[in-house]
Amino acid sequence: MADKGSLWDKLTQKHNLIPYPYNKIVAWGFGGFIFKTTFDNITSTIKARKHGFNECIDSEEMIIEVLTTLREMKYIP
């Protein structure tokens, strides 16, 4: 994905987005790690809940909210 900077520049112009540097949009290394692991990444939240962190948010709702906000702020088309 690191080679897609020029494509991002074109999308930014086409959709009149805020000109935010492509290399600062996401942590590409993290995405590479998560999507290329050869093992299941299963994390338990039991320990956090035992220590009083009981609130949670639906992942799909959160992602939609964040993407909607980024679109409204003109960071993404």
Q: How many CB atoms lie within 10 A of CB 68?
A: 11
- Condensed to tens digits (0 to 9), the pLDDT of residues 20-30 reads 888 888 778 88
pLDDT band (50, 70, 90) for residue 69 = very high
Q: How many domains does the chain have?
A: 1
pLDDT band (50, 70, 90) for residue 40 = confident
For residue 18, give both structure tokens.
């805020």
Is 53 among the domain residues? yes
The phi and psi torsions of 20 (rounded to 5 degrees) equal: -95, 135
Is 31 among the domain residues? yes
Is 14 among the domain residues? yes
What distance in Å separates the CA atoms of residue 39 and residue 57, rounded to the nearest whole number? Answer: 25
| Start-end of H helices in the chain | 5-14, 28-36, 46-50, 59-72
15: CB partners within 8 A, 6+ apart: 74, 77
Range of the domain at 46: 2-72
Is 77 among the domain residues? no
